[in-house]
């Protein structure tokens, strides 16, 4: 497989944008406050230095020959007769993998641990054992770091719709309660992968209070990196970039300098086990030469999915391939360290409303994940009308005293699909940010310029008492009406807290 470029989407672009912001901002920009709690560099560097890991899609789908299982399956159908997590871990260690990720809960909601929040779990199945605990113990015993995957969309237990496009309910207590069980009952979990919400038409950023969920994770395990399978081509609401290769053969870009990961399954049959899985595998050469060797200099950890079969074992062909990989591959210790990483918006705050000088302001905060696969973004853009200056104002619902960052996501649609030639007309290049507590009297926080490309933009400023945050558009690409895909804000140093 040949690698494909996304265009210039690496950290250098984001760093350049942030540098431009810093150079042109007013003196109230946050400077000299010491290391930000939003900077996760040491943890991100450790992750990319792992280089190679195992994804284990093992759940109800394993027993129903399905990628997405319908809700409310008979729990007794989950019945691995020979489950051996030690066999999985031995194969991972033999391949040189440093970590693994298990699907503790997929979209149907079946739980591989004895959660108290639903009966749809292993203790009511044909295998009445805590699979998460067995997995954790087996991988730790072999020196392979265990991590977890958790789907927010839960079709059985009322987190999102049971049918794809129905209106969604959100049982946030269940989400946070189950995360508490996983993050307090099994020791250190250095990476947690979320899925099943940002790209979902009935969920998204506004139906799911992801900032609150992320803050909950940080309170339980402060050093847990969050990776979100949301289709983004740079980190947004997450600590790590994720590239899902099966989505059109996308590959981490050659100029990437974000802490990144790329997921691919060892069998084109799918992420879960299917009858064809054992006979249709990537070759050792494809894994070593076309993935590990290509991704390693791009600071992109390769996560190879190896789905256990319904007996609870990796197929012999999978085990043999992993042993061959371990004999052929070793890490390149001469790779330079991960470059500096931007601060993460670890505590995003969702606006409750938005107003604009023209156009539909609601489209800038609708929570719709406007990042698309291969440039095929499903855009919901705020587009200004009339002459500048044009403004877009966020209402956070109440004053906060920990907001120090505004993030601007430009348009993400491509001129030609799959060409990574992104449209830029209307992208904001000159801006001014101001804040208010009453929505009437605003004071300036920052001003500056951004490159006109489609990378995520940040404006940093000193945290103060803020309820209303205003972006004033001063210039755009091609002098076209301003466009905004998503506008967000939050804190990088401390959790944004209600002002007294």
Residue 100 lies in a domain: yes
Please state, in angstroms and rounded to a whole number, the distance separating the CA atoms of residues 326 and 447: 52
**Which burial class, exposed, middle or buried, applies to 184 when counting CB atoms under 10 A from its CB (0-12, 13-18, 19+)?**
exposed
Residue 406 lies in a domain: yes
Same domain as 279, residue 168: yes
Same domain as 26, residue 95: no
Last residue of a domain, one of 266, 299, 328: 328
* Highest mean pLDDT of the ranges 180-184, 407-411, 486-490: 180-184
Question: 81 or 419: whose pLDDT is higher?
Answer: 81
**In the chain, how many domains are there?**
2
pLDDT bucket at 33, cuts 50 / 70 / 90? very low
- CATH at residue 405: 2.60.120.260
Q: Which residues, in sequence order, are CB contacts of 163 under 8 Å at separation 6+?
A: none
Same domain as 475, residue 371: yes
| Partner residues linked to 487 by β-bridges | 408
CB 499 within 8 A of CB 399: yes
- Distance separating the N- and C-terminal Cα atoms of the chain: 57
Least confident interval from 273-287, 336-350, 386-400:
336-350
**How many CB atoms within 10 Å of residue 33?**
10
Averaged over 142-171, what is the pLDDT? 92
Same domain as 434, residue 417: yes
| Partner residues linked to 145 by β-bridges | 99
Token code pair at residue 25: 């901002």
Same domain as 364, residue 319: no
Question: 498 or 458: whose pLDDT is higher?
Answer: 458
Give the orientation angle of helix 172-184 with respect to helix 210-220, to 10 degrees: 20
Please state, in angstroms and rounded to a whole number, the distance separating the CA atoms of residues 456 and 468: 21
Calculate what percentage of the chain has a pLDDT beyond 90.
Answer: 67
Query: Residue 79 pLDDT more than 90?
Result: yes
Query: How high is the mean pLDDT of the chain?
Result: 88
Same domain as 315, residue 236: yes
pLDDT bucket at 206, cuts 50 / 70 / 90? low
- Closest by CA to 174, choosing from 102, 103, 120, 236, is 120
Q: What is the pLDDT, as a whole number, of residue 1? A: 30
Same domain as 397, residue 319: no
Place of tokens 């690496």: 10
Q: Which residues, in sequence order, are CB contacts of 2 under 8 Å at separation 6+?
A: none
Same domain as 452, residue 359: yes
Please state, in angstroms and rounded to a whole number, the distance separating the CA atoms of residues 404 and 400: 10
Q: Which residues, in sequence order, are CB contacts of 185 under 8 Å at separation 6+?
A: 113
Last residue of a domain, one of 260, 294, 328: 328
Same domain as 386, residue 312: no
Query: Residue 22 pLDDT more than 70?
Result: no
- CATH at residue 252: 3.20.20.80
Calculate what percentage of the chain has a pLDDT beyond 70.
Answer: 87
- Closest by CA to 486, choosing from 404, 385, 365, 376, is 365
Residue 437 lies in a domain: yes
pLDDT bucket at 30, cuts 50 / 70 / 90? very low
Last residue of a domain, one of 302, 328, 354: 328
Residue 389 lies in a domain: yes
Please state, in angstroms and rounded to a whole number, the distance separating the CA atoms of residues 314 and 320: 10
Query: Residue 342 pLDDT more than 50?
Result: yes
CB 465 within 8 A of CB 431: no
- Closest by CA to 469, choosing from 371, 358, 376, 356, is 356
Same domain as 306, residue 448: no
Structural domain boundaries enclosing 114 = 41-328
- Pairing of the two strands 390-400 and 443-449: unpaired
Residue 302 lies in a domain: yes
181: three-class secondary structure by DSSP: helix
Residue 5 lies in a domain: no
CB 240 within 8 A of CB 260: yes
pLDDT bucket at 225, cuts 50 / 70 / 90? very high
Question: 380 or 500: whose pLDDT is higher?
Answer: 380
Same domain as 250, residue 223: yes
* SS3 track for 96-136: CCCEEEEEEECCCCCECCCCCCCCCEHHHCCCCCCHHHHHH
Averaged over 321-345, what is the pLDDT? 94
Residue 334 lies in a domain: no
- Closest by CA to 308, choosing from 246, 245, 265, is 265
Same domain as 203, residue 105: yes
Averaged over 212-225, what is the pLDDT? 91
Q: What is the pLDDT, as a whole number, of residue 165? A: 80
Residue 337 lies in a domain: no
Please state, in angstroms and rounded to a whole number, the distance separating the CA atoms of residues 323 and 287: 12
Q: What is the pLDDT, as a whole number, of residue 19? A: 34
């Amino acid at each position: 497989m040949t690698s494909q470029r996304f265009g210039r989407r690496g950290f250098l672009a984001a760093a350049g944008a942030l540098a431009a912001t810093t150079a042109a901002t007013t003196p109230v920009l946050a400077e000299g406050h010491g290391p930000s709690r939003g900077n996760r560099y040491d943890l991100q560097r450790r992750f990319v230095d792992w280089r190679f890991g195992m994804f284990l899609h093992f759940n109800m789908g394993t027993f129903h020959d399905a990628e997405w299982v319908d809700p409310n399956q008979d729990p007794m159908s989950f019945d691995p007769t020979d489950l051996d997590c030690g066999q999985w871990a031995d194969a991972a260690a033999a391949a040189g993998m440093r970590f693994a990720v298990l699907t503790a809960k997929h979209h149907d909601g079946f739980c591989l641990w004895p959660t108290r929040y639903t009966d749809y779990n292993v203790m009511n199945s044909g295998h009445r054992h805590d699979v998460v605990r067995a997995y954790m113990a087996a991988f730790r015993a072999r020196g392979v770091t265990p991590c977890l995957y958790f789907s927010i969309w839960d079709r059985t237990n009322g987190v999102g719709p049971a049918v794809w496009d129905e209106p969604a309910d959100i049982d946030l207590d269940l989400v946070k309660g189950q995360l508490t069980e996983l993050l307090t009952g099994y020791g250190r979990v250095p990476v947690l992968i979320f899925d099943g919400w940002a790209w979902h038409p009935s969920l998204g950023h506004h139906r799911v209070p992801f900032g609150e969920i992320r803050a909950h994770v940080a309170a339980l395990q402060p050093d847990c990196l969050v990776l979100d399978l949301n289709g983004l081509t740079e980190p947004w609401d997450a600590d790590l970039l994720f590239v899902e290769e099966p989505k059109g053969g996308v590959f981490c870009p050659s100029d990437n300098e974000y802490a990144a990961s790329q997921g691919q399954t060892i069998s084109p049959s799918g992420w879960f086990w299917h009858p064809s899985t054992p006979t249709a595998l990537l070759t050792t050469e494809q894994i070593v030469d076309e993935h590990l060797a290509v991704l390693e200099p791009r600071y992109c950890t390769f996560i190879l999915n190896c789905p256990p079969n319904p007996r609870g074992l990796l197929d012999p062909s999978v085990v043999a391939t992993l042993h061959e990989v371990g004999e052929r591959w070793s890490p390149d210790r001469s790779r330079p360290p991960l470059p500096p990483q931007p601060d993460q918006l670890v505590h995003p705050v969702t606006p409750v409303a938005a107003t604009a000088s023209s156009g539909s302001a609601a489209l800038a905060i609708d929570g719709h994940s406007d990042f698309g696969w291969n440039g095929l973004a499903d855009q919901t853009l705020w587009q200004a009308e009339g002459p500048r200056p044009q403004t877009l104002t966020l209402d956070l619902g109440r004053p906060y005293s920990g907001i120090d960052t505004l993030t601007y996501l430009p348009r993400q649609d491509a001129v030609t699909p799959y060409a990574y030639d992104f449209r830029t007309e209307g992208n904001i290049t000159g801006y001014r940010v101001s804040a208010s507590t009453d929505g009437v009297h605003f004071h300036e926080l920052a001003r500056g310029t951004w490159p006109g490309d489609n990378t995520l933009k940040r404006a940093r400023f000193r945290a103060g008492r803020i309820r209303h945050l205003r972006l004033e558009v001063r210039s755009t690409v091609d002098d076209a009406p301003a466009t905004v895909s998503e506008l967000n804000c939050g804190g990088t140093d401390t959790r944004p807290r209600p002002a007294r």
